[in-house]
Structure 1
Amino acid sequence: MSTQTGASSTALAVVNPWALMPPLGNLDAYISAVNRLPMLTLEQEQEFARKLQQNNDLEAAGKLVLSHLRLVVSVSRKYLGYGLPHGDLIQEGNIGLMKAVKRFDPDQGVRLVSYALHWIKAEIHEYILKNWRMVKVATTKAQRKLFFNLRSMKQGFKSDALDADTHRETLSESEIDVMARELNVKRADVTEMETRLSGGDVMLDPGASDDGDDGYGPIAYLADAHHEPTAMIEAHQRDVLASDGIASALATLDNRSRRIVEERWLKVNDDGSGGMTLHDLAAVYGVSAERIRQIEVAAMKKMKKALVEYA
């Protein structure tokens, strides 16, 4: 027994953590290396943990971490279904393992493997929630619980179903009740999380596509153009031109030209029809309709010039 213990201790002592780093992208080599590392006995584990706790012995901490790297690899495999790189999951799990080693108390009567399991899962969970989608889907305790259980429970419902409705994607009312009861969450939380998981990220402003055409996204119907600063300035300028500007431009005309413009363009009858026609104004002033048209054109040009100066 002592010979085996001494051999394991010697093996861990000569292991250089950096030597475990495989060539870039060679994850299988890393997994193979950590699986070859010897595991610690209870006596070794307590010895190294006390050295770390009492003397801040970093070498002892390294031995505790190295001997449990295979645990991180094993736990990380359970989360491959979320579409995130296995190497990243292992990396985050290793962070959780190091946190566990730092806080581990050998006098509590618990093996490090049991204590570290919580910390490894917690770091992996946090990484998945932050990186599974651009928009975080779970923030509350109930939402996090549903995020990591809803899909597996949903698959369980499907496997138990014997009717013809086995291919439906949404949960039934009874299944929602069962899930809410088993996870101790509200029914509304279950339905909301199912909606979030069934959807996907949509770019607010997709920009131009590969063929050069502008993409269409929520920004097209979510933006409030009425309160956009540039639009508000332009609207104010139009209002000013339509009131004070028009009044200023009319003031530059003689009485006859002004009346012709007002009667033709600025007056509306009670029935919704426009003002006087060219022939009506020609009868009033005793000239031809063509002459009225010429006066109108000249007045419009004069007003346009006045509006440009006013603006």
Structure 2
Amino acid sequence: MVSMSRLPALGNIDAYISAVNRIPLLTHEEEQQLARDLRDRESVEAAGKLVMSHLRLVVSVARNYLGYGLPHADLIQEGNIGLMKAVKRFDPDRGVRLVSFALAWIKAEIHEYILKNWRMVKVATTKSQRKLFFNLRSMKGDAGTLDSAAVQRIADTLEVKPEEVREMETRFSGGDIALEGNPDDGEDAMAFAPIAYLEDSRTEPTRVLEMKERDAMSSSGIEAAMAKLDDRSRRIIQTRWLNVAEDGSEPMTLQELADEYGVSAERIRQIESAALKKMRGALTEFQAGR
């Protein structure tokens, strides 16, 4: 796999972001060829090109987590690890672009980093609490302190106790950071302040095309593919592959699902394998029809 030393240095975050945004995107045909070179010949050069061409995706994803008070450079570094894991596991015959496949791995790695390092994460120890941790901000919106009805609504939606919502809200309110860094804290505090990353790059042409492709495949494409599955297969894929991207949940094990359905773990693996094959075909049809 490509070494982290092959990636642009993170010493100057602005220079790094500028550098990765200049790296050309791969065409579908180039991506397919490189992925096959990696899979069939274990080509380190091919792996490096696949990683490098998707570094801007990691920067984009990492920017969404600046509100947790952790350095942007550290979030990017963790996201890059997730990207490399995705590249190593990417199968070009699945019928999806690497950008769609890598998104879940990048988010999962960043989620894990946040949970291990943010000062308030001691409460985020169960699946339901992890879901609360990563969804409370968006569900709360611009509202101030939540009233009892809002707390109960969020608790019911996320399947947690109302007091857990209250506790998490309190910790969030105490965890905000200043928009601008304090000059007295040194250059790093200024460099990593959120104000440094407010430039909107969403209208940059290559990013528009990249995000359009990613959004279509990760929403409509996945939805169409999931609709081809029976209820049991859909449940297995959801809990084994999709929940980690949506709310940071740990994937269910084959044995957990086997216990739920009263079959062997090997039978669950067979169902999962057949479901993934069926989804790959559905996603290929979806992409061809766009």
In structure 2, the residue matched to 1:21 is 8
1:49 aligns with 2:24: no
Distance 2:129 2:59 in 1: 26
2:98 to 83, 108, 112: 112
Distance 2:164 2:121 in 1: 18
Letter in 1 for 2:149: S
| CA drift at 1:18 | 5.6
| CA drift at 1:172 | 1.6
| CA drift at 1:79 | 0.7
CA separation of 1:150 and 1:134: change in aligned 2, threshold 3 A: closer
In structure 2, the residue matched to 1:86 is 72
Stretches (4+) displaced over 4 A = 16-20
Q: How does 1:159-178 map to 2 (within 5 A)?
A: 169=145, 171-178=146-153
Q: How does 1:34-45 map to 2 (within 5 A)?
A: 34-45=20-31
CA separation of 1:103 and 1:19: change in aligned 2, threshold 3 A: closer
Distance 1:48 1:185 in 2: 45
TM-score by length of structure 1 reads 0.51
| CA drift at 1:188 | 4.5
Which string of whole-angstrom CA distances, capped at 9 and with x for unpartnered residues, describes residues 115-157 of structure 1? 100010111111111111176331111111111111232234x
In structure 2, the residue matched to 1:180 is 155
In structure 2, the residue matched to 1:124 is 110
Letter in 1 for 2:16: Y
Which string of whole-angstrom CA distances, capped at 9 and with x for unpartnered residues, describes residues 59-109 of structure 1? 111110000000000111111111111100100000000000011111111
Distance 1:19 1:142 in 2: 38
1:190 to 155, 165, 170: 165
CA separation of 1:138 and 1:124: change in aligned 2, threshold 3 A: same
Please give the secondary structure, in 1, of the residue aligned with 2:129: helix
Distance 1:113 1:194 in 2: 33
Please give the secondary structure, in 2, of the residue aligned with 1:84: coil
CA separation of 1:65 and 1:103: change in aligned 2, threshold 3 A: same
Letter in 1 for 2:19: A
Distance 1:41 1:147 in 2: 37
| CA drift at 1:184 | 4.2
Distance 1:146 1:56 in 2: 40
Distance 1:199 1:146 in 2: 17
CA separation of 1:17 and 1:99: change in aligned 2, threshold 3 A: closer
The structure showing larger relative contact order (alpha-carbon pairs under 8 Å, at least 6 residues apart) is: 2
Unaligned runs of 5+ in 2: 176-290
- 8 A contact 2:38–2:44 mirrored in 1: yes
| CA drift at 1:198 | 4.7
Unaligned runs of 5+ in 1: 1-15, 159-167, 201-311
Letter in 1 for 2:125: T
Q: CA RMSD in A?
A: 2.4
Distance 1:109 1:47 in 2: 13
2:16 to 27, 30, 38: 30
CA separation of 1:154 and 1:17: change in aligned 2, threshold 3 A: closer
- 8 A contact 2:115–2:121 mirrored in 1: no
| CA drift at 1:192 | 4.0
Letter in 2 for 1:176: V
| CA drift at 1:185 | 3.8
TM-score by length of structure 2 reads 0.54
Distance 1:112 1:178 in 2: 37
- 8 A contact 2:155–2:162 mirrored in 1: yes
- 8 A contact 2:120–2:171 mirrored in 1: no
Which string of whole-angstrom CA distances, capped at 9 and with x for unpartnered residues, describes residues 147-206 of structure 1? 1111232234x2xxxxxxxxx53x222112221343344435423433444567xxxxxx
- 8 A contact 1:80–1:86 mirrored in 2: yes
- 8 A contact 1:17–1:66 mirrored in 2: no
Distance 2:67 2:162 in 1: 25
